[in-house]
Structure 1
Amino acid sequence: MACVNESVVGLMDQGCGGCSLDLWEFTSLVQSWPLLFEFLVDHGVLLSEMRCGQCGAVLELAEDSEFFRCQRLTVTRFNKKVKRVRCRFKRSFKHGTWFSGSCLSISNICRITYLFLAMRRPGSHFIRSHCHVSQQTVQDWSHFCREVMLSWYVGESVGKIGGAGSIVELYGANVGKPKYKSRRGRSDEELWVFGGIERNTNRIFVIPVEVLTSKSLMCMIEEFIMPGTTLMSDCWQTFDCLSDHDFERFHVNLSMNFIGLDSGANTARIERLWCDIRNNIPRCGLRTPQFVGYLAEFMFRRRFPDERERMHHFLLAVKKAYPLPK
């Protein structure tokens, strides 16, 4: 067995109750397949045993094996004849899991995933050289990771923010607006993003929408913001509908001032949030399918800022997105 960090062994003895592993500890973990397997089983992304699909026997994974095998012997008697039938059920332990369909070893997949989660903006060259995989493999597994994050983001219950005495800053942006018209008469697909941030708690919501109208705006505000909240926004015409509902609104004309001269209103926090989102999304991610994945990645990283704990929360998200077969 390869040399394993003692802190990793202690963690596996205690079971996972919210693990935190730095790069060195995780590297030590993936060097030992028994410890890595136990780590993934504890997080609910791999099975240590399963039922035979033919005879219903409980199967355990043999050491150094990638398959659940059933060799149960069934004896039946008919008149004076005895018939012995051995079950030949066989199934890969990757079947039905997040790792299924890949030729990579689980250890290498975990290395790629950890580096993707730990780095602020993952460099494909760095992951490629350390995991000894191709550029296409890095791109594929980065996409698979974003799919898990998107599933987490859709299922994450943000809850309503704001309330009486609270201030929420609003922002809406068109992230898919084409800079130039296509010579063939086609334009890129447009995508709107609407978001808000509560000043006291810094709780946020960011929602991608196809079209941002006054009607869709009010639907999202009623879903994510509590009545009686003080809203601050720019002078965009779509926000004018807020005055007709149970919200107090202040606005600032950003083309002239950063702070409202009469009200002192400003949208500095939401503007900073939007800058962070744009800075962490490459230009190639501005098409609708890619942008939603990059947005989910940004929200996941913001929700779990400690890179040592991201692998734990990511595996819990994998567990929900890819429930294990029974």
Structure 2
Amino acid sequence: MNITNLADQLQTPEATLNFCQKRKLVAEEKRCLHCGQDCLLAKRASLSDGYGWRCSSCRCWTSIKNGTFFSYSRLTISCILKVIYLWAFEMASTKNLHRECGLRSRHTIVDWKNFLRDICRDYFLRNPRQIGGPGHMVEIDESVFNRRKHNVGRLLTPVWVFGGYDPAEKEGFLATVPNRNAETLLPLIKKYVLPGTTVVSDCWRAYSKVGGDGYHHLTVNHSLNFVDPVTQATTNHVERMWKEAKQGNKRECGTNRELLETYLIEFMWRKKFGRQPFDSILTHIAESYPVGKEELPITIATSSPSTLSSEALQKSEENISS
């Protein structure tokens, strides 16, 4: 799907609502929290998205955003979907979001990017997985993610990241670590790598005991070779993963240290779902924010039926009488 196809599917409030309901981003049924009766979906011009939930009994109204990923935002759902699309295809620069979505607040842009990274994190929390296994090789390595350029400027505390990559399955893991000693790295290997895996590393002393934990261990001495001439062991694939991860970091002109782990999670999510990022992120949003017929609090004051369009009012009355 390209941006033109998306715009065609979001031309009207009705089309936007159908798009969201098909993808389980907006509920098809709701129940009133006040009286427990079913709510009816009806048009309402005063709502930014053109539709709202109207209680068939007490006639209260609430937004269709209530209880969804779109809750508490003043942006329209169609605008948020465009933001998600641009983020999914790595086009969510401030300039693009301003031009395509009309977003002017840098804080709003940063918040939505953080919300989407949270969705990536939630996916991996719901679907924890170890890589490797018998017959597989997993390359491991550690790398520093911030340092002074040319050793000039203010002193920075280095942030180390430990990672592994299975070239056969094209899957990996990344984790920030306080240091590179064996007490820190070996438990992470056990957490992320299946027993029976052939683990390939450089000759860093912290890896000297990897072979005693149910793993086969191969090393490559980088001071002599990038590929071991005897075992053919190499860490080139995990080194490439570092390069790709740091390119994203540079593209963002650096990242907040407190948010570095979420950026790494986003990177791994893109490695896994990069072929269909938009459909994948919508699916994962629906999993993180399930919608159903749960009771919702009423957030909009009761209004007289005369404020409804005649078509919506007629439909609502027919549903009530039935």
Range of TM-score over shorter length: 0.7 to 0.9
Q: Aligned to 2:208, what secondary structure does the other structure show?
A: helix
- Residue in structure 2 matched with residue 14 of structure 1 by the alignment: none
Q: Residue 310 of structure 1: which of 264, 274, 277 is its match?
A: 277
Indicate if the aligned counterparts of 2:37 and 2:56 stay in contact, CA closer than 8 A.
no
Instruction: Provide Cα deviations, 1:136-178, integer angstroms capped at 9, x if missing partner.
Output: 1323222222221222233233234231x32221112232556
- Rounded to whole Å, the distance in 2 between the matches of 1:129 and 1:182 is 36
- Residue in structure 2 matched with residue 147 of structure 1 by the alignment: 118
Indicate if the aligned counterparts of 1:71 and 1:88 stay in contact, CA closer than 8 A.
yes
Q: Residue 52 of structure 1: which of 29, 32, 51 is its match?
A: 32
**Matching of residues 97-176 of structure 1 within 5 Å:** 97-119=68-90, 122-136=92-106, 137-163=108-134, 165-176=135-146
- Rounded to whole Å, the distance in 2 between the matches of 1:211 and 1:284 is 24
Paired amino acid for 2:54: R
Instruction: Provide Cα deviations, 1:102-135, integer angstroms capped at 9, x if missing partner.
Output: 111111111111111123x532212211212215
Indicate if the aligned counterparts of 2:175 and 2:261 stay in contact, CA closer than 8 A.
no
* Per-residue deviation, 1:237: 1.6
Aligned length: 285
Percent identity among equivalent residues?
Answer: 27
Q: Residue 224 of structure 1: which of 192, 197, 205 is its match?
A: 192
- Cα 1:30–1:200 change in 2 (3 A) is same
Give the structure-2-normalised TM-score. 0.79
* Per-residue deviation, 1:242: 1.1
**Matching of residues 68-107 of structure 1 within 5 Å:** 68-70=53-55, 72=57, 87-107=58-78
Instruction: Provide Cα deviations, 1:223-264, integer angstroms capped at 9, x if missing partner.
Output: 332323222111212111213333222222224432234543
Paired amino acid for 1:202: K
Q: Is it true that 1:323 corresponds to 2:290 in the alignment? A: yes
- Residue in structure 2 matched with residue 38 of structure 1 by the alignment: 18
Indicate if the aligned counterparts of 2:220 and 2:226 stay in contact, CA closer than 8 A.
yes
Q: Which consecutive residues of structure 2, in runs of 5 or more, have no partner in the other structure?
A: 45-49, 295-322
Q: Aligned to 1:91, what secondary structure does the other structure show?
A: strand
Q: Is it true that 1:62 corresponds to 2:42 in the alignment? A: yes
Indicate if the aligned counterparts of 1:52 and 1:59 stay in contact, CA closer than 8 A.
yes
Paired amino acid for 1:168: V
Indicate if the aligned counterparts of 1:228 and 1:246 stay in contact, CA closer than 8 A.
yes
- Rounded to whole Å, the distance in 1 between the matches of 2:280 and 2:132 is 23
- Residue in structure 2 matched with residue 84 of structure 1 by the alignment: none
Q: Aligned to 2:219, what secondary structure does the other structure show?
A: strand
Q: Which consecutive residues of structure 1, in runs of 5 or more, have no partner in the other structure?
A: 1-20, 73-86
- Residue in structure 2 matched with residue 5 of structure 1 by the alignment: none
**Matching of residues 194-213 of structure 1 within 5 Å:** 194-213=162-181
Q: Residue 294 of structure 1: which of 263, 271, 280 is its match?
A: 263
Paired amino acid for 1:305: G
- Rounded to whole Å, the distance in 2 between the matches of 1:210 and 1:178 is 18
- Cα 1:162–1:198 change in 2 (3 A) is farther
- Rounded to whole Å, the distance in 2 between the matches of 1:42 and 1:319 is 11
Indicate if the aligned counterparts of 1:48 and 1:60 stay in contact, CA closer than 8 A.
no
The more displaced of 273-282 and 239-248 is 239-248
- Residue in structure 2 matched with residue 28 of structure 1 by the alignment: 8
* Per-residue deviation, 1:303: 1.3
Indicate if the aligned counterparts of 1:54 and 1:89 stay in contact, CA closer than 8 A.
no
- Rounded to whole Å, the distance in 1 between the matches of 2:65 and 2:179 is 41
Q: Is it true that 1:258 corresponds to 2:226 in the alignment? A: yes
- Cα 1:153–1:47 change in 2 (3 A) is same
Indicate if the aligned counterparts of 1:49 and 1:59 stay in contact, CA closer than 8 A.
yes
- Rounded to whole Å, the distance in 2 between the matches of 1:210 and 1:156 is 25
Indicate if the aligned counterparts of 1:252 and 1:260 stay in contact, CA closer than 8 A.
yes
Paired amino acid for 2:139: E
Indicate if the aligned counterparts of 1:208 and 1:292 stay in contact, CA closer than 8 A.
yes
Q: Aligned to 2:199, what secondary structure does the other structure show?
A: strand
* Per-residue deviation, 1:92: 1.9
- Cα 1:199–1:149 change in 2 (3 A) is closer
